[in-house]
Every structure is written in C-alpha cells, then in structure tokens.
Structure 1
Amino acid sequence: MKLILLVEDEPELADTLVDGLETHGYRVHHTEDAEEALVQTAVHRYDAMIVDWMLPGMNGPELIQELREKDYVAPALMLTVRDSIEDRVHGLESGADDYLTKPFSFEELLARVRALLRRPSEWSALDELRIGPLHIDTATRKVAIEDAPVELRKKEFDLLRLLVERAPAVVSRTMIAERVWGSEYVSDNAIDVTISGLRHNIQDAQEEKENIRLETVRGVGYRLHAE
C-alpha cells in the first residue's frame, strides 16, 4: 500500500483528500505545516507528497526545496491558487514534480498522484550510469564529467538521467514531461528552463571542451552526445 504525505492547512480540504485517497487504497499521513512535515519525512519514506503552497511559517516551495537539498526524492504535487507562468516555474524549480491549481476536482488530483507514483519504477535500477566521460551515481545523485563535478538541480538531474538512459536515442518533450515531472501537464516554459539549465551546467563543467553535448533535434526532441 502506497504511503502519501499530505501537507495542507485547510481542514475541510485536507479531510476530503484524506478520505478520498484512503478510499482508493492509499495510506495518508496528514500534517498542517512544513515543520511537522520535515519531522515526518525524517522518519518515513513516502511514495509521494501533496503539498499546499501557502502554509503557516515555511511555505510549500521552501519545504520541497529543503527536502530536495537533503536528497529526499519522493515525487511532490504542489497545490496552489497561484496560476501565473512565473509561479508555476517557481514551484517546479523548487523541486515539485507537478502543479495543480485550486479549485480542482478530486478525480484530476487522483490521476496526477497515480502518474507520480508510476514514475519511479520507470527509472533504471543501475546504481551507476556512464556515457563517454560523464558518470552518474544514482544513489547519491552526484554527476561528474571526468573529474569535474556537475552541480544540478533536481529536475536537471532527472532529465540528465533520462537522456543517459535513452542515449543515443532522441527523447521527446512528451517523454521528458512524463518521466521527469511525472505528468503530461507541464508548461513548455518549465521544460525549456530545465533544458537550458542542464546545458549550461554541462558546458561549465567541461570548460572549453565539448565531449558531452545536449543537442536539440528540431521538431523531435533532445539527445545526449558523447565523444
């Protein structure tokens, strides 16, 4: 039975979500603030998290960002009334995997949770991935090109991992949305920002070399090229 952490300070909404998720066979731990969520994540390994943006004290993006910095990788669905492109990008860049704007139907939330829960099983079980001079340690989430470390955000790491697993094949934007965010409902801007950030960090780690390149295949997608 999958275990879900719900961080939501609206009692009526929280009760509705807990009842609905448990009716569909999930176990749910509910907390009303980020500080208690940090305590719970130190004890439990959740299969997914549902986090409200507006929380007392530390907000949702801050909570998720702190968890990602601690290498807590459970996929997270952000709930919020904010619906601008800037807010969506900020939420996703904090480490959230998907974004759902209030008000929403329970059926849509359930579909997105199911999509998040499908994602981890699709990753390779290998602890190490290599392509040319690039090395990924999937257990520690560390990346290096030759001996130079590559500093990546969570989404950039997940995207790189996908590209390495699929190399030399081209990876479509649809696959990136489904595998990296766990949902097809991802803005083009969020994907573009992540692609740009990954490309920039790869280039920085190589100084003036181009042994590893993130290539755009126009009209098709992206692929990782290694020499």
Structure 2
Amino acid sequence: MEHYNTFDETLVNIDKGTSSNFTTSMMETKQKNDLIERSVKHETTELDLMSKNQEEIDSFYQSQITKSWGLWDKWTNRSMYDQVQDVKMELLKTSADYRVAFYKTLLETRLEYFKERCDAGLKMIKGHYRQQVATFLTKKLQELSIEVGDRQFAFIKMMMKKYDYARSLANYPRLQKQFDDSIAAEEDRYLHFLSGLLDKFEAILNEELKRYNP
C-alpha cells in the first residue's frame, strides 16, 4: 500500500510540474507575441506619420505650383516665387524631354516594324523568283543533256557505219588511212562540240546564280 501511495504521489508531482512548465511556456509565448504586436503597431504608426507628412508636403507643393501669384505675393515672397518658377521650368523641360523621347521611340518602333516587314517581303519575293529561275535553268540543263545524249548516240551509230566501211577499204591502204583520219577528226570535233554545249550552258547557269549569291 505504501508503495502504491508513493507511485501516485509521483504521478501527481509530474502532472503538476508538466502543468507548471506548460503554463510558463504559454506566458512566455504571449509576452513575445505582445512585444511583436507592439513593435508592429509602432512601425505602422511611424509609417502613417511619414505618409501624412509626405501628403502635407505634396499638398503644399501643389498649392504653390498652381497658385496664382499676384504682384504683392511676388514682392513679399520673391524667393518662393522664383523657386516655383524654376520648378515649373524644370517640369516643362522634363515633360518636353519625355514627349520627345516618347515620340522618338514610337517612330523608331514603327520604322523598325515597316523595315522588318519590307525586308521579310523582299526576301520572300526573292526566294520565290530565285526558285523559279533555278527550276527553269535546271530543267533546261536536263533537256539539253538529254538532247546532247541523243545526238551522241545518233552520231556514234553513223560513225560505226563509217568505220565498217573503212574496214572494207583494206585493199586500198592509202585511201583507207585518209578515210580513217577524216573519221577520227570528225569524231573528235563533233563530240567535243556536244560536250562544249553542256559546259557553256553550265557556265551560263553558274554566272546567273552568282547574281543571287554575290
């Protein structure tokens, strides 16, 4: 029984100690919160006071700027009048500078806009016509290549008949040699002529393309 009583007393003491610590912690937290709240209120009051002072200054400034200065006011408060005129001149200059800068920026923006549009349009037009030129020239080169090939094949068939005929002149060596030389010269001349057509056309094509890519 004594053992149980001691255990119960211990629990009671623990509960009391825990409750006491909790109460102390709550009080400390409340004190900290109160301190923070007073600090915030103080700062807010200071800001409100500063704002009020600034409003009073602005109000006084505006009243002096818009004030209609009579001859008596100018004479009795010449220093303030001169300061107000200086401020007005400064405001006028600042406003003029702002307007000039604003319209200059606006015009430069419009100019850049139109320049960009014109450049883009010109590039598209150039691209369109350059594509047409390239397509046309490429097509003509292909047609010329086909025609030159047909001419080469027809010429070779004709030359084959001539070479066959030259072999039939074996009993006439001198005549056969002259005929062979004539055939060879004709062969070189005509085949070089056909190849030269392609070379010249390609040179014209490259020269034309250089105009688009200087």
Structure with higher Rg: it is 2
For Structure 1 versus Structure 2, the TM-score category normalised by the shorter chain is: under 0.3
Name whichever structure is richer in helix by fraction.
Answer: 2
Q: TM-score, normalised by structure 1?
A: 0.14
Between structures 1 and 2, the one with greater strand share: 1
TM-score (norm 2): 0.15
